[in-house]
Chains A and B, each alone.
Chain A
């Protein structure tokens, strides 16, 4: 009998290190430390996140079937991931049948090269762009610029970010960190021929952007878009947006190139019924978004006459291979988790260093790009950028259990790390705590030590590193002289419990009333 050793399948690759925008330069705590000092950012974030929160709650609580809709969204996504390869091939077949061309990009570098080649084939050295997370992730604009092609962002907020040579800080509201005076200054210095007297009235700012963009819509022959959904059953692509600038890009140019993350595929056209309810209500807090564009291949005489679909992996298959982590691929980029996150609300999007900030970014980014690709990889700090408060899980329209994913990624990180001081301390703590004798000895030592450090006012106001961050803004109480267990074992403890039992049993005195009387107060 002969046997052939087929070997273990190689782990799917992450997004290549040093490419695209899936990694910041600093770890989260350091970046957040600086961002927290940006008062403008803090004020804008607080105002924006709180107002979107209220809107979202209003339009989600009015639907009697909101919870079943979330369940349906989660179920469709889980079923999609279970047969992703087959659905993608179906999508490719359908798009091709309808006159489109499908390209497969294993990472951002390949996607950028494909798009650049397709743009150059049109003879144009300009492209107009629909707001797209995927091309932000791959750093397409920077790549195009290096290749002599100018990309124009047409989403108003993306335009502001682009003109300021800045990076977006929110999935939905990329310029959330700017105020209107800053935007006026950016427009004055970066829009050619703009009125030098332009003021910061929002309508005037929008008009200036509109005049600038209209000219691009009318003259640039090729557009690049992302996609919110791609339907395997029909080959239909869809983009949802608010401004209509996306609609212009999707309909006016001769050539349309769409870059879509492979996880955006949906099995059936009917699935849109679920997601077109979940997405706008979770995202902008609107019942419906103003513009929903859908296109299927090429329609002769109407719209772009050449259509290319670039399917982007860039670490998604690696995430899919993780039994627990793959849930992050269910994300529909609504940004509800950002808007409810207390950490995002304070630190802002730039602190995460990735195209994907906030709670979903903290679980998606390390999976797409890895978190130990380099020494002191900044991405390794992202799973810890959460107090695990769980607000994101409650807000997620497809019920991604982000707190559990964060805990899982923390575990993966500690498993990969060698013997760190923290690991040794955790091991030591577990050893002490699994032996009650050692535990009570440690309690005694900590109690005596703590009381000495605390002094007369029984407060500890300064701790050594790595705990000094705590005492920067908080005191710690000194351990009391007696632990609970020593009190309980004492005559005083026994007497107190006896007295309590007698008090409860005494007729007439403070008797316990049961549930039926509740509400009398």
Chain B
């Protein structure tokens, strides 16, 4: 298959390792990775903050970049961005777009998938041949869970990983408190939500907390880092991309290498 990869603005800029892992995983599974160079951002931040006119060009760009019929499927290593393409792009196109945009959005959203959906539903794999000999706990991000309804697909993928020690996260389905600009506009409430998530992550004794969305991981990771917990965050793709031949290496901070 020719699989279009949308890096997401956050992934491209701040968390390239997660996107790199997604690309490597797809290539290892025998598929061609297509990266349309004109891609930037899905516009989720705009819509969620109340702006629906401003992201029209972003919605149009996404439809243009991935509308190419030779692209069989589009994958996003982010549950919330995939949710935005599926649920918010039609809203924006309907309200502020033209007929061409509405058609374009309809075509592209039907072949857009979050990573675990692509692997399990489209490619039909749950064991991707990964090897990850570490203790891991999984946080099912809100938009993957309740907007996309990915269900237990990420967990099925993780359970099939060789040598993984997967431990259940208490109160897993509770929001970590990120919510995009919510974490800035309502920083106190968001922080209170984060404290409970961090406490639950630490109670598992996991080496890493994983999820299918770099934005939620940035939030949880920011909390774990602030208290110097020693527990890391890792995108689901990074665990699935790790193999016996090329195992995942936790990056060393400069402090550790000094």
Contacts and interface: CB of A to CB of B under 8 A. Distances in A.
Nearest to A385: B186
B54 A473 contact: no
A28 B186 contact: yes
A422 interface: yes
A389 B12 contact: no
A83 interface: no
Interface stretch (A1-9, A189-197, A342-350): A342-350
B43 A504 contact: no
Contact of B222 (A28, A475, A505): A475
A469 B182 CA distance: 10
A447 B13 contact: yes
Interface residues on A, range: 35 or more
B48 A470 contact: no
Contact of B12 (A28, A443, A521): A443
Contacts of B128: 512
Contacts of B218: 476-477
Interface in A395-447: 407, 410-414, 422-423, 426-427, 429-431, 433-434, 436, 439, 443, 446-447
B29 A485 contact: no
B37 A458 contact: no
B231 interface: no
A11 to B, nearest CB: 20
A390 B147 contact: yes
Given A389-B146, A488-B35, A497-B33, A384 B182 contact: yes
B129 A32 contact: no
B13 A390 contact: no
B133 interface: no
Interface in A326-351: 342-343, 346-347
Interface stretch (B67-75, B108-116, B189-197, B200-208): B189-197
Interface string A223-235: 0000000000000
A480 B16 contact: yes
A342 B177 contact: yes
B183 interface: yes
8 contacts: A388-B142, A429-B45, A470-B183, A473-B187, A474-B191, A477-B14, A484-B19, A484-B20
Interface of A: 28-29, 32-33, 36, 342-343, 346-347, 383-391, 393-394, 407, 410-414, 422-423, 426-427, 429-431, 433-434, 436, 439, 443, 446-447, 456-459, 461, 466-470, 472-477, 479-480, 482-485, 487-488, 493, 496-501, 503-505, 509-515, 517-518, 521
Given A512-B125, A515-B124, 17 more contacts: A28-B186, A384-B186, A387-B182, A410-B50, A411-B51, A429-B46, A430-B58, A436-B38, A436-B40, A470-B184, A470-B222, A472-B191, A474-B191, A484-B16, A484-B20, A493-B20, A509-B244
Interface of B: 7, 9, 11-14, 16-17, 19-20, 23-25, 27-30, 33, 35, 37-41, 43, 45-52, 54-55, 57-58, 60-61, 88, 124-131, 142-143, 145-147, 156, 159-160, 173-175, 177-195, 218-219, 221-223, 225-226, 241, 243-246, 253-255
